[in-house]
Amino acid sequence: MNQFVQQIINLFGGAYPETIIFLISTLPVLELRGGMLAAGLLGVDMARAVIICLAGTVLPVPFILLFFKKIMEWLKNTRFVKTVRKIEGKLAEKSKEVEKYKTLGLFVFVATPLPGTGAWSGAMVAALMGMEFKHALLSVAAGSAVADIMMCVVSYGVLGQVWQR
């Protein structure tokens, strides 16, 4: 992921570091995990990076919660039906624990800083499960905040020590 984040930083070369980490944080898969890594690489103040990355990660969530299920239903009537079924299958696998514990399960799922467990995936799972908007949004935002803090420790603590050598 580090090389990919570095390529995105290079792509936005002339932009402010804060803009770069915000944009990275809005992207699926990378989200705040990539944003915090980029913030560490770009030397952005830690407190500022935490706020910017969290804002970038949470920004797409309401739209995913509101429109993901409708978009997936529409795509089932197109040539992308196989892709839709594949995505639904992967999300169904991920949703088993979330379904069992509802909002707490969604919170833990999103808070776990592993690939495929971020705000985008959590919001998609919540949308497919038909979770209440307010509960899903709060769970995803809170889980993202916890993941943000964990990634902050990694980016500014552990990795910060490695980069200084």
pLDDT by residue (tens digit) across 2-44? 677 777 777 877 788 899 999 999 999 889 888 988 888 888 9
Tell me: pLDDT of 157 over 80. no
DSSP characters over 76-105: TTSTTHHHHHHHHHHHHHHHHHHHHHHHHH
Q: Which of 40, 2, 8 is nearest to 23 (CA)?
A: 8
Alpha carbons 40 and 34: distance in angstroms, whole number? 10
pLDDT averaged over every residue in the chain: 86
Alpha carbons 98 and 126: distance in angstroms, whole number? 8
Could you tell me how many residues make up the chain? 165
Alpha carbons 146 and 144: distance in angstroms, whole number? 5
Report pLDDT for 1. Answer: 61
